[in-house]
Amino acid sequence: MKSFTHLIEEVQERGLCHHCGGCVAFCTAINYGALELGEDGKPRYRDRDRCIDCGICYAICPEIEELDRETKHLVNWTPPMGPVLGTAMARASNPEVWTRGTDGGVVTALLLYLLERGRIDAAIVSRRAGPFQRQPWLAISRKDLLDAAGFHFDTVPSIAHFSETYSTFSPSIMELQGVAKKTYKRVAFVGTPCQIKALRRMEVLGVVPSDAIKVHLGLFCAGNFQFGPEERRRLETIGNFEWADVLKVNVKEDLMIHLRQGGVRHILLEHLDFMKRYACRFCEDYTAEYADLSFGGLGALEGWTTVIIRTPLGRELFNRARGLALEVSLHQEHSLLYQASIAKVAEWSERKKRTAAENCLELGQVAV
């Protein structure tokens, strides 16, 4: 049976680790204590002697194909971009939530709805920890969720280690250890495609605490971008701005730098390869294809969110929330916009798959 040592050789040393944290989260939640996240956000041995070589960390890695068939069967995955039971353009009906959130604030509104009606006990999200810094967070109240609202890509690569290198990624899956310790049984998880995939693989294996995750909410992901000192200097030159004037950073079709005095600097994503995490070049999932519901600003009107309904559970939750927590655009004149929106999402999904395949071919990588 393969172990974490094989994961280092086959994933980390090839530069394919997404830092999703799934391997460490499981090991920590079970209290084996063999693994930890390093200061660079990569999983590593904390205590090699405590590793029992169970092989679960290897199997649940989203870069390992060992459980692909079973994971796809679990969610009824179909090409070209996973199950799609429906699509919508929505936003939070509560102005407070809408103004706090990114795009339409739909994820926050849905989580509030589920929490206040007793469908969930907690939600794993990320919250602001400082200027351009975020950290994983186990939200258990309305205030927790509102404080975490707005994913403006100002996150850090690991939980405890803040530095000058900022990242668009937060290892939220690490909060599984908090779920295990506090015995929450109905938890919603918000995360990136690689994190959702790792959770689904844990679900396939039936390992705790994945059984506590009742709702999987996925975020569209064009990749993880590192904002180190050199990257920030280059961005200032490319976008003709200074970081002291930046209010927030967001990503849709391009990188959007929102300035405090108004105005937005748009930088094409193809100009940002110098700051994209290397492993993201080989990821083919743009729309979180293994989630119950997927969300993103791509293709939506300003202030709205594109929603992909993927599972019967996702459909039930979305339909119950609409008209109460969520406002769904139903205007007839938007029918062509809907079609164009989904076509754009499908285009970006296909583009990411094609780029990943080309990069894998160039790398000379064979399936692990």
Residue 240 lies in a domain: no
In a domain, 270, yes or no: no
In a domain, 75, yes or no: yes
Phi-psi category of 48—alpha, beta or left, where left has phi over 0 and alpha has psi -120 to 50?
alpha
Pair 176, 29: CB distance under 8 Å:
yes
Give CA–CA dist 154/216, Å, rounded: 22
How far apart (Å, rounded) are the C-alpha atoms in residues 308 and 324? 19
What pLDDT shows up at residue 322? Answer: 94
Residue 48 CA from chain centroid, whole number: 29
Has residue 243 been placed in a domain? no
Domain that holds residue 168: 70-225+276-363
Contact criterion met (CB below 8 Å) for 37 and 24: yes
Q: Is residue 16 one of the residues assigned to a domain?
A: no
Look at residue 15 and tell me if it is in a domain. Answer: no
**CB atoms < 10 A from the CB of 163, how many?**
14
Rounded mean pLDDT for each run of 10 residues along the chain, 368 residues in total: 91 89 82 82 90 91 93 96 94 90 89 97 82 75 88 38 43 66 85 92 88 94 83 90 83 86 90 88 95 93 91 98 91 69 93 93 64
Query: How many domains would you assign to the chain?
Result: 1
Omega prior to 209 cis, within 30 of 0: yes
**pLDDT at position 129:** 66
The Cα 5–Cα 2 span in angstroms is 8
How far apart CA 23 and CA 310 sit, in angstroms, is: 26
Alpha-carbon separation of residue 146 from 203, 226, 325, 362 (angstroms): 29, 26, 14, 44
For residue 365, the model assigns a pLDDT of 52
**pTM of this structure:** 0.89
pLDDT of residue 155: 34
In single-letter form, the type of residue at position 7 comes to L
- Cα dihedral 81→284→286→171 (10° resolution): 130
* Tokens at 332, concatenated: 């007839």
Phi-psi region of 263 (alpha: psi -120 to 50; beta: other; left: phi over 0): left
User: Taking the CA atoms of the chain, what radius of gyration do you get in angstroms?
Assistant: 19
pLDDT, residue 30, reads 75
pLDDT for position 148: 85
